[in-house]
Chain A
Amino acid sequence: MDGEVTPKLLAGTAIKIRVAAACMVLLGLGAWLTPPAAQSTIAPAQEHAAPLLEAQVQLRDSARPFRGVVEAAAPLLRYAAAVVPPPLPDAVNRDYDALPRASLPDGFAVRVSETEWLTHARALDGRPLVRLRDAAGVERDATLTAFDRRTGLALLQTDAAAGTAPRLATDLPAAGALAVATGAWEARDIVVPAFVTSAGGGRYTLAPAAGTLVPGMPVFSLGGELVAVAAGDAQGQAFDASQAVAGLRARRSAGQSEASFGMAYQAVPASLRPVFGEQGVLVTHVLRGAPADTGGLVAGDVMTRIGDTEITDLPAATRLLGEAAPDTAVALTVRRNGRFRTLTVTPTTPFAVAALDRADDLAGRDAHDVLSPDQMTAAGIPRGASILAVNGQPVTSRADVDRARRRSRTPVPVLVRHGSTRFFVALDASR
Chain B
Amino acid sequence: MNEILSVGLILMAAVVAGHLAQLARIPEVTGYLLVGVVIGPSALDFISHDNITTLGFLSDVALGLILFNIGSIFEASTFRQVGPGVVRVTLWEASLAFVLVAAVLLASGLSLPLVLLLGVVAMETAPATTLMVLNEYDAKGPMTDRLLALVALNNLYVLVMFGLVTAGLTFLDASGAGWLAAAYRAGHGLIWTTLGSVALGALLGLVMDSLATRAKESGEAMILSIGAVLIGVGAARWLGLSPLITTLALGATVANASSNGDRLLRALGRADPPLYAAFFVLAGAELVPSSILGLGLVGVGYTVARAVGKIAGARIGLRDQDVPPMVRQQLGYCLVSSSSLAVGLTIQIRTAFPAYAATVTGIVLAAVVIFEIIGPLLTRRALVATGEAKTIPSPLNKTSNAELLS
Contact = CB atoms under 8 A, between A and B. Distances in A.
Interface of A: 5-6, 8-11, 16, 19-20, 22-24, 26-27, 30-31, 33-35, 38, 61-64, 67, 70-71, 74, 99-100, 102-104, 186-189, 208, 210-212, 214, 234, 359, 363-366, 369, 386
Interface string B233-266: 0000101100000000000010011110100000
A212 B56 contact: no
B181 A19 contact: no
Nearest to A38: B177
B85 to A, nearest CB: 20
A102 B178 CA distance: 38
B396 to A, nearest CB: 33
A2 B75 CA distance: 19
Contact of A104 (B60, B188, B358): B358
A189 B351 CA distance: 18
A187 B43 CA distance: 9
Interface string B15-50: 000000000000000000000000001100000011
Interface string B200-235: 101100110110000000000000000000000000
B298 A26 contact: no
Interface string B330-366: 0000000000000000000011001101110011000
A23 B200 contact: yes
Interface in B48-82: 49-50, 53, 56, 60, 75-77
Interface of B: 41-42, 49-50, 53, 56, 60, 75-77, 108, 110, 173, 175-178, 181, 184-185, 188, 191-192, 195-196, 199-200, 202-203, 206-207, 209-210, 237, 239-240, 253, 256-259, 261, 288, 290-291, 294-299, 350-351, 354-355, 357-359, 362-363
Contacts of A214: 358
Nearest to A396: B179
A99 B114 CA distance: 14
A212 B49 contact: no
Contacts of B257: 8, 10-11, 16
A210 B362 contact: no
Contact of B176 (A20, A35, A369): A369
A63 B181 contact: no
A10 B53 CA distance: 39
B259 A5 contact: yes
Given A187-B288, A188-B49, A16 B350 contact: no
A172 to B, nearest CB: 25
Nearest to B172: A363
Nearest to B362: A104
Contact of B175 (A16, A99, A366): A366
A32 to B, nearest CB: 11
Contact of B296 (A5, A100, A208): A100
A212 B358 contact: yes
Given A63-B60, A71-B50, A234-B355, A8 B298 contact: no
A19 B49 contact: no
Contacts of A210: 351
Given A30-B196, A100-B299, A187-B41, A8 B354 contact: no
A34 B187 CA distance: 10
Nearest to A28: B199
Contacts of B41: 187-188
B176 A366 contact: yes
Nearest to B76: A9
A34 B209 contact: no
Contacts of A369: 176, 178
Contacts of A103: 294-296, 298-299, 362
B209 A16 contact: yes
B357 A30 contact: no
A67 B291 CA distance: 25
A9 B256 contact: yes
B354 A208 contact: yes
Contacts of B350: 211-212
A104 B209 CA distance: 50
Nearest to B177: A38
Contacts of A386: 175
Contacts of A24: 199, 203
Contacts of B60: 63
Contacts of B191: 30
B192 A34 contact: yes
Contacts of A20: 202-203, 206-207
Listed from nearest, the 10 A-B pairs whose CB atoms lie closest are: A103-B296, A23-B199, A23-B203, A9-B76, A9-B256, A103-B294, A26-B199, A212-B357, A6-B77, A366-B176
B199 A27 contact: yes
B181 A35 contact: yes
B363 A27 contact: no
B359 A100 contact: yes
B298 A100 contact: yes
A77 to B, nearest CB: 11
A320 to B, nearest CB: 35
A186 B181 contact: no
A212 B351 CA distance: 8
Contacts of A99: 108, 296-298
A208 B350 CA distance: 11
Nearest to A386: B175
Contacts of A74: 50
Contact of B203 (A27, A70, A186): A27
A67 B53 CA distance: 9
Contacts of B206: 10, 16, 19-20, 23
A100 B362 contact: yes
A62 B243 CA distance: 13
A30 B195 contact: yes
A187 B298 CA distance: 22
Contacts of A10: 206, 253, 256-258
Contact of A30 (B176, B192, B203, B207): B192
B202 A23 contact: yes
A187 B258 contact: no
Nearest to B359: A100
A212 B352 CA distance: 11
Nearest to B287: A187
A336 B178 CA distance: 33
A100 B115 CA distance: 13
Contacts of B50: 71, 74
Contacts of B195: 26, 30
A214 B359 CA distance: 12
A90 B191 CA distance: 52
27 contacts: A8-B75, A8-B259, A8-B261, A16-B210, A16-B257, A19-B202, A20-B203, A20-B206, A22-B199, A23-B199, A23-B200, A26-B196, A30-B191, A99-B296, A99-B297, A99-B298, A100-B359, A100-B363, A103-B295, A103-B296, A103-B362, A186-B294, A187-B41, A188-B49, A212-B358, A359-B355, A369-B176
Contacts of B357: 211-212
Given A100-B299, A100-B363, 12 more contacts: A5-B259, A8-B75, A8-B259, A10-B258, A16-B209, A19-B206, A100-B296, A103-B298, A208-B354, A212-B357, A214-B358, A369-B176
Contacts of B295: 103
A363 B169 CA distance: 13
A177 to B, nearest CB: 20
A229 to B, nearest CB: 18
B358 A8 contact: no
B185 A35 contact: yes
Nearest to A191: B49
